[in-house]
């Protein structure tokens, strides 16, 4: 009985299921959608069965990610019919980047969908959903008003679901790498004003958050309006923003992602040396180690320039862990180009690195390029690259054995009596310990390491909840 008001006359409770695909910004957006819908009586559900509202927050970055949406919609169809048969109604919305890129196609291919809402329009979800229920309004909502969106989202208090939270500080991209859909789905680069970001971070910390990760498709291109009273500064860069946020009482850790080599500046590099709250982990995608391929990708930097940035970061913060993204099999990639990618990976020695087979995305320049690489060749190159990256990651983790590290404990572990958290280098850490440490930073000694995690024990006398 989801639609009846209870004895106290409160609003009827409705079940909301959000499924999130893709990047961390989608995770952030899903949280904000949930925040927007909570005042309307929607409560989070763990599964779509019986839900009143299902939102698929989708990703368009690679073909596989986009395809998942249609198979999920196929699974939802009988659930929607069941709900209707029992006298209820399940509203199905597709949000995110597939909504932006393929809105009309979704409507045509999947009539089960009631609403398509792009990433820059979701702040109006309550209005759009009310329209669906009234049988009015446009079911396709993909306008671009990033500024309005953040103005609308600034007001309600965030609901936290952990001790580490995302805060979007920048959206969109003007780089137009020739493989990438982001400039088309997320639009032009835009930065949130410093005061808006700070208010959101403060509100999160007031609720218990200890770590924020600043998000942006080109986060190090951040150039936000300065705080009130500091107008003369002009736009603030990311380094200045990080130092400003580091002054928030109770905020222990700051991270940011994802950066572009072209937007590196000395001030941001210096922040790694002078701001202890800025964690020593840097995600800097390179995509390829071949200058020829980098040029075809329109990356606007060479392999040597990338390596020079890594060297400057390591000079500023010698223990910094470097992570990246790589694409294999971009059109025209020869065995020699691929070997240059392997060589660059060897030179960087990544703590963690994500690798992908090039995926031909409709509408991007890469899709129309000559020299598309055979799927079998991509698979074989990816396997070779992955073997190297896995060995590097394992070696990085094993280098921690015997060391003492501060860990932010975020959850109970898989086994009873275990708790889990993250090291400064973003490694997952498992250890025996009391649940009372969750939400706190405590010192551990690393006792073992695998490719994906560290095991550790609490250091006696150092288990204070900081």
Shortest Å distance, C-beta 255 to ligand SF4: 18
Which residue is nearest to ligand 5AD, using beta carbons? Answer: 325
Q: Which does 173 bind (CB under 5 to 8 A by kind): ligand SF4, ligand 5AD, none?
A: ligand SF4
Q: Which is nearer to ligand SF4, 285 or 424 (CB)?
A: 285
Q: Which does 217 bind (CB under 5 to 8 A by kind): ligand SF4, ligand 5AD, none?
A: ligand SF4
* By the rule CB under 6 A, 352 interacts with ligand 5AD: no
* By the rule CB under 6 A, 359 interacts with ligand 5AD: yes
* By the rule CB under 6 A, 218 interacts with ligand SF4: yes
Stretch that binds ligand 5AD, among 128-136, 186-194, 351-359, 380-388 (CB under 6 A): 351-359
Please state the φ and ψ torsions of residue 24, each to the nearest 5 degrees. -65, -30
Q: Which does 61 bind (CB under 5 to 8 A by kind): ligand SF4, ligand 5AD, none?
A: ligand 5AD
* By the rule CB under 6 A, 62 interacts with ligand 5AD: yes
* The binder of ligand 5AD chosen from 256, 356, 396, 409 (CB under 6 A): 356
Q: Which is nearer to ligand 5AD, 15 or 361 (CB)?
A: 361
14: its two tokens: 């409705």
Contact 388, 382 (CB under 8 A): no
Q: Which is nearer to ligand 5AD, 281 or 358 (CB)?
A: 358
* By the rule CB under 6 A, 179 interacts with ligand 5AD: yes
Stretch that binds ligand 5AD, among 32-40, 272-280, 344-352, 358-366 (CB under 6 A): 358-366
* By the rule CB under 6 A, 180 interacts with ligand 5AD: yes
Instruction: Report how far apart the first and last C-alpha atoms of the chain are (Å, whole number).
Output: 45
Stretch that binds ligand SF4, among 20-28, 92-100, 141-149, 179-187 (CB under 6 A): 179-187
* By the rule CB under 6 A, 177 interacts with ligand SF4: yes
Q: Which does 62 bind (CB under 5 to 8 A by kind): ligand SF4, ligand 5AD, none?
A: ligand 5AD
Q: Which does 21 bind (CB under 5 to 8 A by kind): ligand 5AD, ligand SF4, none?
A: none
Mark residues 272-291: x for contact with ligand 5AD by CB under 6 A, - for none: -------------x-x----
Q: Which does 218 bind (CB under 5 to 8 A by kind): ligand 5AD, ligand SF4, none?
A: ligand SF4
Stretch that binds ligand 5AD, among 151-159, 187-195, 311-319, 355-363 (CB under 6 A): 355-363
The 3-class secondary structure across the chain, one letter per residue, is: CCCCCCCCCCCCCEEEEEEECCCHHHHHHHHHHHHHHHHHCEEECCCCCCCCEEEEEECCCCHHHHHHHHHHHHHHHHHHHHHHHCCCCCEEEEEHHHHHHHHHHHHHHCCCCCEEECCCCHHHHHHHHHHHHHCCCCCEECCCCHHHHHHHHHCCCCCCCCCEEEEECEECCCCCCCCCCHHHHCCCCEECCHHHHHHHHHHHHHCCCCEEEEECCCHHHCCECCCCCCHHHCCECHHHHHHHHHCCCCCCEEEEECCCHHHCCHHHHHHHHHCCCECCEEECCCECCCHHHHHHCCCCCCHHHHHHHHHHHHHHCCCCEEEEEEEECCCCCCHHHHHHHHHHHHHHCCCEEEEEECCCCCCCHHHHCCCCCCHHHHHHHHHHHHHHHHHHHHHHHHCCCCCEEEEEEEEECCCCCEEEEECCCCCEEEEECCHHHCCCEEEEEEEEECCCEEEEEECCCCCCCC
CA 302 distance to own-chain centroid? 26
Shortest Å distance, C-beta 369 to ligand SF4: 15
* By the rule CB under 6 A, 385 interacts with ligand 5AD: no
Chain residues 100-159 in contact with ligand 5AD, contact rule CB under 6 A: none
Residues lying near ligand 5AD in the complex (CB under 6 A) are found at: 61-62, 179-180, 285, 287, 325, 327, 356, 358-359, 361
Chain residues in the site for ligand SF4 (CB under 6 A) = 173, 175-177, 180, 182-183, 217-218, 260
């Amino acid at each position: 009985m989801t639609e009846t008001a209870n004895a106290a006359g409160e609003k009827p409770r409705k079940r909301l299921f959000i499924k999130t695909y893709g990047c961390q910004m989608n995770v952030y957006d899903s949280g904000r959608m949930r925040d927007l819908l909570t005042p309307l009586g929607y409560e989070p559900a763990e599964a779509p069965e019986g839900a009143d509202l299902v939102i698929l927050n989708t990703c368009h970055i690679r073909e596989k990610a986009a395809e998942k949406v249609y198979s999920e919609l196929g699974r939802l169809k009988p659930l929607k019919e069941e709900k209707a048969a029992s006298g209820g109604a399940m509203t199905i919305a597709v949000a995110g980047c597939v909504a932006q890129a393929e809105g009309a196609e979704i409507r045509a291919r999947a009539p089960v969908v009631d609403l398509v809402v792009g990433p820059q329009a979701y702040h109006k979800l309550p209005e759009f959903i009310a329209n669906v229920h009234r049988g009015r309004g446009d079911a396709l909502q993909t306008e671009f008003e990033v500024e309005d969106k953040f103005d609308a989202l600034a007001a309600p208090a965030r609901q936290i679901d952990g001790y580490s939270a995302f805060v979007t500080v920048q959206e969109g991209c003007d780089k137009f790498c020739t493989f990438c859909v982001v400039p088309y789905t997320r639009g032009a680069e835009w930065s949130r004003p410093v005061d808006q970001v700070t208010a959101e971070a403060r509100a999160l910390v007031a609720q218990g958050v200890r770590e924020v990760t600043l998000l942006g498709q080109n986060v190090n291109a951040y150039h936000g309006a300065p705080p009130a009273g500091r107008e003369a500064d002009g736009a603030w860069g990311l380094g200045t923003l990080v130092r400003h946020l580091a002054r928030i009482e109770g905020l222990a850790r700051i991270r940011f992602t994802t950066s572009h080599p072209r937007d590196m500046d000395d001030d941001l590099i210096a922040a790694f040396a002078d701001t202890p709250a800025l964690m020593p982990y840097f995600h800097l995608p390179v995509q390829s180690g071949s200058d020829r391929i980098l040029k075809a990708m329109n990356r606007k930097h060479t392999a040597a320039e990338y390596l020079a940035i890594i060297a400057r970061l390591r000079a500023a913060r010698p223990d910094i862990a470097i992570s990246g993204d790589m694409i294999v099999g971009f059109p025209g990639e020869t065995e020699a180009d691929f070997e240059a990618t392997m060589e660059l990976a060897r030179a960087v020695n990544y703590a963690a690195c994500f690798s992908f087979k090039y995926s031909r995305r409709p509408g991007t320049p890469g899709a129309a390029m000559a020299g598309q690489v055979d799927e079998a060749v991509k698979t074989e190159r990816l396997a070779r690259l992955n073997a190297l990256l896995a060995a590097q990651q394992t070696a990085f983790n094993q280098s921690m054995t015997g060391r003492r590290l501060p860990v932010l404990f975020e959850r109970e572990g898989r086994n009873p009596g275990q708790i889990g958290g993250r090291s400064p280098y973003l490694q997952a850490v498992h250890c025996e310990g009391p649940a009372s440490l969750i939400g706190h930073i405590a010192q551990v000694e690393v006792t073992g390491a695998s490719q994906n995690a560290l095991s550790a024990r609490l250091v006696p006398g150092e288990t204070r909840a900081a």
